[in-house]
Amino acid sequence: MDYPDFGHPVALDVETGNADFGIVICGSGNGINMTVNKHQGIRSALCWTKEIAALARQHNDANIISIPARFTSIQQAVEMVDTFLNTNFEGGRHANRVNKIACQ
């Protein structure tokens, strides 16, 4: 399968506000992460642990999590997604940085 065929619809749903968050998966997590990050307003984070998933939300206001399927067990993936969906953006000093990410 071609991961962009699945990544673009997820990114569009988040980009247009049809979804608050997205979850994408491919072998390494890299290709699909690159694909969704081409969309305006998308901040996808390639996550390998639940700690990285938490930091992606807290510090980067990530709205899509990318999971490397070849290197992640189902239990790890579930823990990362649960952490990602239940962690809030901290704002503050991180907000200024996040506002500088998008190309205008």
pTM > 0.85 = yes
Is 103 a residue of the active site?
Answer: no
The pLDDT tens digits for 52-79 are: 999 999 999 999 999 999 999 999 999 9
Which string of DSSP letters, residue by residue, matches the chain?
A: --THHHHHHHHHHHHTTS-S-EEEEESSSHHHHHHHTTSTT--EEE-SSHHHHHHHHHHH---EEEEEGGG--HHHHHHHHHHHHT-----THHHHHHHTTS--
Catalytic residue, chosen from 8, 26, 94, 103, is: 26
Catalytic residue, chosen from 8, 39, 59, 94, is: 59
Candidates 3.30.1240.10, 3.40.50.620, 3.40.1400.10, 3.40.190.10; correct CATH number of 4-99? 3.40.1400.10
The pLDDT tens digits for 7-56 are: 999 999 999 999 999 999 999 999 999 999 999 999 999 999 999 999 99
Is 59 a residue of the active site?
Answer: yes
Domain ranges of the chain: 4-99
Distance CA 7, CA 104 (A): 22
